Amino acid sequence: MTSTLPPTIEVDDLVKSYGEVDAVRGVSFAVAPGEVFGFLGPNGAGKSTTINMLCTLAEPTSGAARVSGFDVVSRRDDVRRQIGLVFQDPTLDVRLTAEQNLWFHAELYDIDPGVIPARIDQLLEMVGLADRREQAVMTFSGGMKRRLEIARGLLHSPRVLFLDEPTIGLDPQTRSSIWRYIRALQETEGTTIFMTTHYMDEAEFCDRIAIMDRGEIVVLDTPEALKAAVGADRVVLGTADDDAALVALRDRFGIEATVAEGAVTFHVSNGERFVPRLFAELDVGITSVAVSRPTLDDVFMRHTGTTIRDAETGGVADLDRTMMRTMAGAKR
């Protein structure tokens, strides 16, 4: 995405510390108007903290950020008028109907009463809740609630829509329909979208992705460029003895493999051609083999040395994860 317009979001060396803990350690990036920008990383990487600073819910410890040209600290209210938000945790009043929730929002944002009904009709239509408009939100499924929150976030035609894990905990079908809305929206209203996710497959919907780990952006580019940079194919092996396989791979082929999600994983160019050699020369029993083109998972692994899922198994706390990684490293 190249654009001559000034960026919609500009972030300059943003830091947020909670006491001794640095949740965000100096991130800088810019998001162009109309771009779908994704923040990718495991829980606790600092994604939500960054989003909270951008949408004025948390004050940066240092550094600066501008949304639509307004500083998030000194022009807080101007920023708030420009943005829509969908949080990780639901923020609907479940005892009101879908429509009442939207009306409340419209009144709070002081939207011209003349345009509210049409806007509500069309947004409910868009997220497929038109026939449920008069039902209390407590009767809604998780996916319906999320769709209603997206509709609400768009009600006041924000320049930027922030989505913090918009699809977390939803079934694949609902996830893909939510993605359809987001893309349609970006096309028709030109809304800039800033989102966080820790689903790798979703990151592919973004124009650009920043991968975040332990409070820092480790890499930022288009999904294609990121995958191209990995270059090699990913080979996942099931073996009779993972440790022996790691040693054998290093000694015989000069390959540094890792054990990720319980299987020996490594990257090699021309994976299909490499596999027959592997069978011929590796003296460890192979129980399964899979070769795949690079995905964003590989990108993440390449830059952080672990898969997102493994990065999270140690718990959310940064310290825990660091320890897990050190232990995993020692085992290697």
Span near other proteins by CB under 8 A; candidates 29-37, 177-185, 236-244, 282-290: 177-185
Q: What are the DSSP calls for 55-117, one per residue?
A: TTSS--SEEEEEETTEETTTTHHHHHHHEEEE-SS----TTSBHHHHHHHHHHHTT--TTTHH
Closest C-alpha to 22, from 60, 55, 68? 60
Question: Rounded distance, CA 135 to CA 18, Å?
Answer: 41
Segment contacting other proteins by CB under 8 A, of 181-189, 198-206, 210-218, 306-314: 181-189
Distance CA 44, CA 198 (A): 11
Query: Taking CB under 8 A as the rule, does residue 92 contact other proteins?
Result: yes
- The smaller minimum CB distance to other proteins, of residues 134 and 224, is found at 134
Give the one residue of 59, 241, 243, 261 binding other proteins; rule: CB under 8 A: 59
- Please report how close the Cβ of residue 136 comes to other proteins at its closest, in angstroms: 8
Determine phi and psi for 183, rounding to 5 degrees. Answer: -70, -40
Piece in contact with other proteins (CB under 8 A), picked from 42-50, 55-63, 228-236, 273-281: 55-63
Instruction: Tell me which of 17, 43, 135, 157 binds other proteins, using CB under 8 A.
Output: 157
Tokens 């004025």 belong to 56
Helix (H) or strand (E) segment spanning residue 200: helix 200-203
CA distance 139 to 39: 32
For residue 69, state whether it binds other proteins (rule: CB under 8 A): no
Integer CA distances (angstroms), 191 to 108, 161, 204, 226, in order: 21, 7, 18, 24
Per-residue binding string, other proteins, 191-230, x by CB under 8 A, is ----------------------------------------
Among 11, 31, 36, 126, binds other proteins (CB under 8 A): 126
Compute the least distance from the CB of residue 55 to other proteins, in Å: 7
Which DSSP symbol is given to 196? E
Per rule CB under 8 A, is residue 105 in the interface with other proteins? yes
Contact track, other proteins, 15-54, x by CB under 8 A: ----------------------------------------
Residue 189 interacting with other proteins (CB under 8 A): yes
Q: Which residues bind other proteins (CB under 8 A)?
A: 55-59, 77, 80-82, 85, 87, 89-96, 100, 103-112, 115-116, 118-119, 122, 125-126, 136, 155-157, 180-181, 184-185, 187-189
